Amino acid sequence: MANVIVENDAKQYIVVRLGDEQYGIDIRYIDNIVRMQKITRVPKVQPYFRGIIHLRGEIVPVMSICTKMGLPNNEITNDSRIIILKIEAQGLIGIIVDEVKEVVTLASAEIDKVTHNTKDEKSNFINGVGKHEGELISLFDLNSVVGEKEAV
């Protein structure tokens, strides 16, 4: 165990796939990852909300992060998962991703901060880009992901 170095400024991210791109979600905010299940549609809500699901006796709203970011809609496949996020006091919320790939540890040196580019809607939901084994991972800014603002 001696050669395990705990890096204080390193964070763990779960790497998910949305379309062709890879995104990272800070593992501290993840409550659970569940398989795709029947989502009960709720009428007259924000368009990016797919509906609600039942999770351990609770009702959890589920949204499509793709729709919210203005990407093409998720195609539901066998690999699709719902990631249940738990953010502070606001309760649980699920986001649909196309595939869950792996868990990576990124040191802060491996993360480039991005500045918000108003022209690019997607970047409003990203607060950094991580480099891991030659691949780029966009890191979600979860507060804006679950927040009210929507890409137009």
Partner 1 sequence: MDVSQYLDVFIDETKEHLQNLSDCIMTLEREPENMDTINEIFRAAHSLKGMAGTMGFKRMQHLTHDMENVFQEVRSGNKNVTSGLVDILFRCLDALDVYLENIQNTSDEGTDDNASIIKELNDILNGDDDDLDGEAAPEEASQEDTAQETMSEGAVKGDLRQLTDKDKEAIREAIGKELHVYGITACVNEDCMLKAARAFLVFKAAEEFGTILAQTPSAQDIEDENFELSFTFYLAAKESEEPIVAAAKAVSEIAEVTCREILAEELDEKPETEAAADTEQEHEAEAVQPPAAVNAIVESAAPGKPEKAAQSAGKKQAANKPVTSRTVRVDIEKLDAVMNQVSELIIAKNSLVSISTSEGESMNNQAFHDQIESLERITTDLHESVMKVRMVPIESVVNKFPRMIRDLSKKLDKKMELYMSGEDTELDRTVVDQIGDPLQHLLRNSADHGLENAELRKERGKPETGMIRLNAFQEGNNVIIEVSDDGGGIDTEAVKNKAIERGIITREQSETMSQKEIIDLLFMPSFSMAKKITDVSGRGVGLDVVKSNIEALGGDVEVASTIGEGSKFTVRLPLTLAIIQALMVEIRDGKYAIALGSIQKIESISVNEIKYVQAEEVINIRGQVIPLIRVDNILDLEPKEEEEENLTVVIVKKGEKSAGLVVDNLIGQQEIVIKSLGKYIENNKIISGATILGDGEVALILDVNTLL
- List contacts with partner 1 (CB under 8 A): 38, 40-46, 49, 52-54, 57-61, 63, 90-93, 146
Distance from C-alpha of 15 to C-alpha of 83, rounded to nearest angstrom? 11
Give 42 or 109: the residue with its C-beta nearer to partner 1: 42
How far, rounded to the nearest angstrom, does the alpha carbon of residue 142 sit from its chain's CA centroid?
A: 7
Give min distance, CB of 40 to partner 1, in A: 4
Q: Which of 81, 79, 82 is nearest to 92 (CA)?
A: 82
Please state, in angstroms and as integers, the Cα–Cα distance from residue 152 to each residue in 25, 63, 119, 125, 138, following that order. 23, 16, 11, 13, 20
Specify the residue, 25 or 111, whose C-beta has the smaller distance to partner 1: 25
Rank residues 106 and 146 by Cβ distance to partner 1 and give the closer one: 146
Would you say 39 and 50 are in contact if contact means Cβ atoms under 8 Å apart? yes
Please report where in the chains the tokens 């989502």 appear, as a residue.
39
CB of 80 to partner 1, least distance (A): 19
Question: Which residue, 43 or 72, is less far from partner 1 as judged by CB?
Answer: 43
Provide the minimum distance between the beta carbon of 41 and partner 1 in the complex, in angstroms, as a whole number.
7
Min dist. Cβ of residue 86 to partner 1 (A): 12
The DSSP element (H or E) to which 67 belongs, if any, is: helix 65-69
Which is it for strands 111-113 and 99-106: parallel, antiparallel or unpaired? unpaired
CB of 92 to partner 1, least distance (A): 7
Please identify, using beta-carbon distances, which residue of 60 and 82 lies nearer to partner 1: 60
Q: Are 49 and 63 in contact (CB under 8 A)?
A: yes
